[in-house]
Amino acid sequence: MNLTQVNPTEQQMEQIMAYPKDTPLVMINIIKFKSKADNSNETGKEAYARYFKNAQPFVVQSNAKLIWKGAVATTVIGDLENQPDMIFLVEYPSVDHFIKMISNPEYQKIANDRTIALEYGGLIACQTLK
């Protein structure tokens, strides 16, 4: 797990743009908080809680829905030293809905809270199998 990655690379953005159009998209969010948020006296968890709350209107506006959210209890198989703190799933009607949301200038104003809060912010795009 690359614990320094929080934002997508240009190549990763190109790959998500190739996702099948008009196909639902489930984003698996794998979150590991910093003990202290950048340039702040608050914890990464506190900064992320603010981001999560402020992102909700944009998620709703994009017709997406939170499917599941949970705190990681323990890693049964995998890296115990670098296990994430939280995992959640958000379903978007299409990749265009997701791209429109993250491209919104108003969303971008709050997105820095995500960046300052996270040690790792994995985001995995998944297509439902039939």
Q: Which two tokens stand for residue 37?
A: 């948020």
Establish if 15 belongs to a structural domain: no
Report yes or no: 62 and 55 within 8 Å, Cβ to Cβ: no
Specify if 5 maps to a domain.
no
Amino acid present at 58: F
The answer to whether residue 10 sits within a structural domain is: no
d(CA 99, CA 40): 29
β-bridge mates for residue 121, sequence order: 31
**Does residue 7 sit within a domain?**
no
pLDDT band at 8 (very low <50, low <70, confident <90, very high): confident
Residue 11: inside a domain: no
| CATH assignment of the domain containing 38 | 3.30.70.100
Q: What is the total count of domains within the chain? A: 1
Q: Whose structure tokens read 């499917």?
A: 67
Q: Determine the Cα–Cα distance for residues 116 and 27; give it in Å rounded to an integer.
A: 21
Pair 66, 89: CB distance under 8 Å: yes
Does residue 66 fall inside a structural domain? Answer: yes
pTM: 0.89
Structural domain including 84 reads 22-126
Question: Would you say residue 16 lies in a domain?
Answer: no
**Could you report the per-residue pLDDT of 18-31, keeping only the tens digit for each?**
999 999 999 999 99
Predicted local confidence at residue 4, as pLDDT:
56
Residues 75-104: what's their mean pLDDT?
95
Domain membership flag for residue 51: yes
- Mean pLDDT of the 59-71 span: 97
Quote the Cα angle for 104-49-102, to 5°.
15
